């Protein structure tokens, strides 16, 4: 059965959230004591438009 577009979008967003969480965990190792929410903002603010752009920046090294 073919997935609906909404299900595929949700799956992709879940994958991107996992990547962001991984990057936040890496940042927390070198910045102990900084709240996770602050680190998440620092990680995602490089591409605030949408999760797809965040993925491109974080995983593929795209420069904005």
Is the pTM of the predicted complex or chain greater than 0.85? no
Q: Where are the domains of the chain?
A: 5-60
CA nearest neighbour of 43 among 32, 54, 29, 34: 54
Inform me whether the pLDDT recorded for 47 exceeds 50: yes
pLDDT in tens, 7-29: 999 999 999 999 999 989 998 99
**Banded model confidence at residue 62, pLDDT cuts 50, 70, 90:** low
Question: Higher pLDDT residue, 48 or 15?
Answer: 15
Sign of CA dihedral 32, 33, 38, 40: positive
pLDDT at 63: 54
CA nearest neighbour of 26 among 12, 40, 15, 14: 40
């Amino acid at each position: 059965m073919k997935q609906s577009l909404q299900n595929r979008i949700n799956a992709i967003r879940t994958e991107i959230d996992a990547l962001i969480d991984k990057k936040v965990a890496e940042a927390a190792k070198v910045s102990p004591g900084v709240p996770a929410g602050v680190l998440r903002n620092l990680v995602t603010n490089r591409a605030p438009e949408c999760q797809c752009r965040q993925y491109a920046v974080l995983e593929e090294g795209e420069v904005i």
